[in-house]
Amino acid sequence: MQQSVITDKFGRALQDLRISVTDRCNFRCRYCMPREIFGKDFAFLPKEHLLTFEEIERLTKIFLQLGVRKVRLTGGEPLLRRDITTLIKRLAQLEGLQDIGLTTNAVLLGKMASDLKEAGLKRVNVSLDAIEDQTFMQINDSNVKTQPVINSIIKAKEVGLAVKVNMVVKKGMNEHQLLPMAKFFKELGITLRFIEFMDVGQTNGWNFEHVVTKKEIYEEISKRFDLEPVNPAYFGEVAKRYRYKGTDIEVGFITSVSESFCSSCTRARIAADGHFFTCLFAGEGLNVKDILRDGATDDEVKDTIVSGWKYRDDRYSDLRTEETAKNRKKIEMSYIGG
Ligand code: SAM
Ligand code: SF4
Ligand code: SF4
């Protein structure tokens, strides 16, 4: 396959693509889609504004020509998108695509896991912020206990998907769950990654005081377990990796706030309505869906993406202040896809 490497203003190559397949979700996590805002009257995207599977496939092919090798599907909750396994099957057949992953709250994963695996999905990142029901239910605000999520995790592993668990840590929300989560997933032999609470979007009331930093999390985990560092698997790997001494079971830290990693950020994002974004904290994206629907050729679409990437100078997390967190216009995580 013809492949080019395109780099942005800071020399960062375009390597990964995240595609949000829906802005809807069956959870209302307090830090992501607070019910007061994402309530009954919230205007989610109408169906005709969502990229179709044909459009997603076409765009993915174009990104593959530009050097992307890995795609992750996200949302909203990607398993709510009708026929998602069909989309995965189509993407898995694309020449040059080495890896397809999916990020999910896993409520629907248990019953879909074997079909997803068969369709060509390789890995899932399951979001779970607590092991204790009461805390988890307070966070998801949707009356879902932890057991269905745990069952889905076990099922996904059984069918041969690579599984990691992501835990957003927010002060006053779930720090008391750090050690119970670490113990639980160590025993299951599953990598747990701690994510610092971020100021994505405008609705989650973020400030620096809510952040539990990597250092604080590391100290808490070290009270009980000895950790040793593990080298990154590839350039641009987001998580800082450690393993429990004497085992090959890992934990990771995603330190967007305390140790930003913009200098190695190689990730492009397509929102559910086909806007192209070069940063999770962007305020505006480029409407690629309209370009596709206006009859552009693949080369014209490619040129648009290339110029968007070439002019990219995003480094929001390097520059984050209380002021930018509060006043800068940023799109919501459920729309751009986390
Ligand atoms: N619904 C799916 C899920 O929860 O896995 C996929 C979309 S969700 C937006 C993707 C990831 O973003 C989840 O792991 C979620 O916990 C994380 N996330 C959402 N808001 C966040 C925030 N403010 N700070 C850090 N992580 C956040
Ligand atoms: Fe839904 Fe995921 Fe956001 Fe929770 S974090 S509200 S599961 S999109
Ligand atoms: Fe990449 Fe933007 Fe996050 Fe920096 S802030 S790592 S540029 S997505």
DSSP-derived secondary structure for 247-280 = SS-EEEEE-TTTS--GGG--EEEE-TTSEEES-T
**Residue range 153-172, pLDDT digits in tens:** 999 999 999 999 999 999 99
Chain centre distance of CA 220: 25
Q: Which helix (H) or strand (E) holds 216?
A: helix 214-222
With a cut of 50, which residues of the chain have pLDDT below it? none
Give the ligand whose atoms come closest to the C-alpha of residue 324. 3
Q: Which of 258, 279, 321 has the most ligand 3 atoms within 8 A of CB, as the residue to mutate?
A: 279
> What integer pLDDT is reported at residue 3 of this predicted model?
55
CB 255 near ligand 1, within 6 Å: no
> What integer pLDDT is reported at residue 119 of this predicted model?
98
| Residue 11: inside a domain | no
**Residue range 70-98, pLDDT digits in tens:** 999 999 999 999 999 999 999 999 999 99
CB 261 near ligand 3, within 6 Å: yes
Indicate the residue type of 27: F
User: Can you give the CATH number for the domain in which 140 is found?
Assistant: 3.20.20.70
| Residue 221: inside a domain | yes
CB 40 within 8 A of CB 94: no
| Domain containing residue 274 | 16-336
What's the pTM value of the predicted model, to 2 decimals?
A: 0.96
> What integer pLDDT is reported at residue 329 of this predicted model?
83
Q: How far apart are CA 33 and CA 25, in angstroms?
A: 9
| Residue 98: inside a domain | yes
> What integer pLDDT is reported at residue 1 of this predicted model?
55
| Residue 43: inside a domain | yes
The tally of domains found in the chain comes to: 1
> What integer pLDDT is reported at residue 207 of this predicted model?
87
Q: Which of 31, 33, 333 has the most ligand 2 atoms within 8 A of CB, as the residue to mutate?
A: 33
| Residue 229: inside a domain | yes
| Residue 5: inside a domain | no
Single out the residue of 155, 116, 16 nearest to residue 72, CA to CA: 16
Q: How far apart are CA 247 and CA 263, in angstroms?
A: 31
| Residue 222: inside a domain | yes
> What integer pLDDT is reported at residue 88 of this predicted model?
98
Indicate the residue type of 313: D
| Residue 328: inside a domain | yes
